Amino acid sequence: MDPIRRFETNLTEPAKSTWSGFWGKIKILAPFLWPKKSCMLQIVVILCFVLLGLGRVINLFVPIFTKWIVNSLSPEEGEPARVRWDLILYYVLLKFLQGGGVGSMGLLNNLRTFLWIKVQQYTEREIEVKLLAHLHSLSLRWHLNRKTGEVLRIMDRGTESINGLLNVFIFNILPTLIDIFIAITYLIITFDIYFGIVVFATMVLYIVATISVTEWRTKYQRQMNLADNKAKAKSVDSLLNFETVKYYGNEEYEVQTFRDALLDFQKSEFKSIITLNILNTAQNVIINSGLLIGSLLCVYKIVETKELTVGDYVLFSSYIVQLYGPLNFFGMYYRSLQGNFVDMENLFDLLKQQPEVVDVKDARNLSIKEGTVEFKNVSFAYNTEPILKNISFRVPAGKTLALVGPSGSGKSTIIRLLFRFYNIQSGNIFVDDEDIEKVTQESLRKGIGVVPQDTVLFNNTIKYNILYGRLNAAETDVIEAARGADIHEKILTFTDGYETVVGERGLRLSGGEKQRVAIARTLLKAPKIVLLDEATSALDTQTERNIQESLNKMCSNKTTIIVAHRLSTIVHADEILVIKDGCIVERGKHEILVGLGGIYAAMWQQQLTSKDEQLKMNEVCDGS
Ligand code: ATP
């Protein structure tokens, strides 16, 4: 199955079990958990574990000290009563370290939480950086198919879930289980086997019930997550397309579909909450049954058989209450652990996506010197439908090639292939006689500049957007590039000049201004090969003429490939290829093609006629 389909399927179909592929997940996670790069952080992690161990010892001694204090209040016959302030002092000290009833506020826990902050930040940073780098490594096809809102949600929740998983498992579930083990052993040794059995049975029943009910309700949580992803993706998509929404007056429709998505989410949320109530009730019944049986047994042994003392009862009851405290949270911890696994699944699906276009082993760095470009028998299909069929051409260094032809014939595809955004099915593409499949994508793209058909800018300042062409360029170079693109004067008329923020996707600039920023950006990059994909399509005739001059300057002595609809912009080209249905149907210089009387000549004639009509219209308007 193709990777995008698989990715989407993973998002929409419930997986079999939360724990499936558990070790695989841990293996992917492991490098993020142990701070390999920092010795200091490694010491901190070890210190946190020491504090955790200390906490277990304290949990055992708090009930024992309680028993000793109670016994000191009712000394055996013949022994004088003494004020055991020393016991009280130790007890209070232990409580101070242990903290409140559920052990969450004590000094040890506070210290551990404080120390863990840096470790947690390390994990978060590593995951988020790796994830963004991974997303950037994925190929164009994946990005064209992704839903930005959904991917952002997965990133957020996935990162949170990994930290949640660590916190819950290492600092909550693991210590609770160790505490239970110590308690059972201690009760068997100092009381008798029956107390051990009661506590053991209660704990096992509790844990089994918690796990099985929680597993059962996982599907509702998963449904809830999917519905939530969809609702968020819907709102992000409608906000990103707000202009289209307004053009078609579809605000009400957008709100309604968002409402429907929310209703779906709330249906799953309702089921999730109801099943949670069922779980809580079952847990309550089990825990209190255990408490009842254990307490009755203890009282029986004090009153009837005299095997135990009042101090023992206090020990037993305070120990059990102390043990049950965190156990009350065990269900929550387990649910959170399981929820974290569910959230992580989507994150792992993202991480498992493989880039479609990868550098070959030992790929060389291409340093473009001449700038020749050659396509040799190139055939290509995005899916199954062939888009380019056996295309061959060569652009010598410094020459200009123009691609013309009907819309959808495959002109922009040629440009995308030169950037190696896709793998071709057959043939070869050469730059400076190097097969582009054998060089690194990064070095290839560094040497090529493009002014695309549809310029999208970062929501940042104009200066930032131009500087993006060469991040280390000086400010004077930025201004020079803006002058070259005929936009410097315009920028100075903006209140904030070069610091003007262009809005999301550059929407605060006009189409022509955006295009000129893109041209300035490419001028700054100063590549050996320039691709102009309808670079002046958004401009009026006067601005186009101005820019054409700067484009000519930019392209002089550079290999240039121009995709154009307006033929007047490419009459000077050294060679013109007419592409139709993915094939080169005519080729040659402008004069030759006009003379041929074929498709190009017809297109030229058509554009001349519409130009004549335009002139006539202008005359009529001027006359009135
Ligand atoms: P125009 O002059 O309108 O820009 P073009 O000649 O540049 O058109 P291309 O953009 O190269 O045409 O597209 C060629 C064909 O490939 C079109 O039929 C288009 O629908 C299809 N196509 C383009 N991009 C993709 C894609 N990512 N996935 C699938 N098909 C695509």
The three-state DSSP-derived secondary structure of 594-607 is HHHCCHHHHHHHHH
Ligand 1 and 564: CB distance under 6 A: no
What are 388-439's pLDDT values in tens digits?
999 999 999 989 999 998 888 899 899 999 999 999 999 999 999 899 999 9
Q: Is 407 in the pocket of ligand 1 (CB under 6 A)?
A: yes
- Nearest-5° Cα angle at 612, 610 to 616: 115
351, 357, 358, 360 alpha-carbon torsion, rounded to 10°: 160
Give the distance (Å) from ligand 1 centre to CA of residue 417: 12
- 408 pocket-lining for ligand 1 (C-beta < 6 Å): yes
Q: Reduced to 3 states, what is the DSSP secondary structure of residue 379?
A: strand
- 537 Cβ inside 6 Å of ligand 1: no
Of 38, 39, 177, 171, which Cα lies nearest the Cα of 110? 171
How confident is the model at residue 8, as a pLDDT? 39
CA 82 to CA 74: how far, in whole Å? 10
Which of the residues in the chain have pLDDT under 70?
1-21, 77-78, 100-105, 328, 331, 505, 536-540, 543, 546-547, 550, 610-624
- Regarding the beta carbon of 71 and ligand 1, being less than 6 Å apart is answered no
Q: How far is the CA of 267 from the centre of ligand 1 (A)?
A: 41
The token pair at 262 is 């929310």
Whose Cα sits closest to atom 18 in ligand 1? 408
Tokens, residue 455:
């310029």
Q: How far, in Å, CA of 125 to CA of 411, rounded? A: 42
Q: What atom in ligand 1 is closest to the CA of residue 405?
A: 6
What integer pLDDT is reported at residue 85 of this predicted model? Answer: 87
Closest residue by Cα to residue 410 from 566, 603, 534, 580: 580
* pTM (global) more than 0.85: no
* Secondary structure, 3-state, 543-580: HHHHHHHHHHHHHCCCEEEEECCCHHHCCCCCEEEEEE
pLDDT digits (tens, 9 = 90+) for 204-255: 998 888 888 888 887 888 888 888 888 888 888 888 888 888 888 888 999 9
Q: What's the CA-to-centroid distance between 413 and ligand 1, angstroms?
A: 6
What is the CB neighbour count within 10 angstroms for residue 111? 15
Q: Parallel, antiparallel, or unpaired for β 448-451 and 426-431?
A: unpaired
Cβ(388)–Cβ(396) under 8 Å?
A: no
Taking each continuous run of H as one helix and of E as one strand, the counts in the chain are 21, 10
Of 329, 17, 340, residue with least CA distance to 173: 329
Q: Find, among 117, 106, 122, 94, the residue nearest to 31 by Cα.
A: 122
Give Cα 516 distance to the centre of its chain. Answer: 32
pLDDT the model gives residue 20: 66
The reported pLDDT for the residue numbered 617 is 54
* DSSP 8-state assignment for residue 474: -
The helix or strand, by DSSP H or E, that contains position 533, with its residue range, turns out to be strand 529-533
As a three-state string, the secondary structure of 403-424 is EECCCCCCHHHHHHHHCCCCCC
CA–centroid distance, 595 to ligand 1, in Å, is 29
Find the 407 Cα to ligand 1 centroid distance in Å: 8
C-alpha of residue 77 to centroid of ligand 1, in Å: 99
231 contacts 262 by C-beta, under 8 angstroms = yes
Ligand 1 neighbourhood includes 411 CB (under 6 angstroms): yes
- Residue with CA closest to ligand 1 atom 28: 382
Phi, psi (deg, nearest 5) at residue 192: -155, 180
**DSSP codes of every residue in 323-369:** HHHHHHHHHHHHHHHHHHHHHHHHHHHHHHPPPSS-PPTTPBPP--S
Structure tokens belonging to residue 432: 């400076």
Count of C-beta atoms within a 10 Å radius of residue 277: 9
In this structure, the residue with its CA closest to atom 23 of ligand 1 is 413
Q: Whose CA is nearest to atom 30 of ligand 1?
A: 382
565 Cα to the center of ligand 1, angstroms: 15
Asked whether 578 and 593 are in contact (CB, 8 A), the reply is yes
Q: How far, in Å, from the CA of 405 to the mean position of ligand 1?
A: 12
Integer Rg of the chain from CA: 36
Q: How far apart are the first and last CA of the chain?
A: 65
For residue 287, the model assigns a pLDDT of 85
Measure the CA–CA gap between 47 and 112, rounded to whole angstroms: 8
**Residue 61 neighbours by CB distance under 10 Å:** 15
Instruction: Measure the CA–CA gap between 241 and 237, rounded to whole angstroms.
Output: 6
Q: What is the pLDDT, as a whole number, of residue 19?
A: 63
Q: Look at residue 12 in the predicted model and tell me its pLDDT.
A: 41
Enter the tokens of residue 284.
């309550």
Residue 241, SS3?
coil
143 ligand 1 Cβ < 6 A: no
User: What pLDDT was estimated at residue 105?
Assistant: 66
Q: For a pocket test of ligand 1, which of 4, 380, 413, 532 has the largest count of ligand atoms closer than 8 A to its C-beta?
A: 413
Res 18: pLDDT: 58
3-state secondary structure 184-212: HHHHHHHCCHHHHHHHHHHHHHHHHHHHH
Q: How far apart are CA 340 and CA 292, in angstroms?
A: 34
Residue 374 three-state SS: strand
Among protein residues, the one with the nearest Cα to ligand 1's atom 29 is 382
pLDDT at residue 395, rounded to an integer: 93
Distances (CA, A) of 148 to 242, 253, 354, 400: 15, 21, 18, 37
Q: How far is the CA of 408 from the centre of ligand 1 (A)?
A: 5
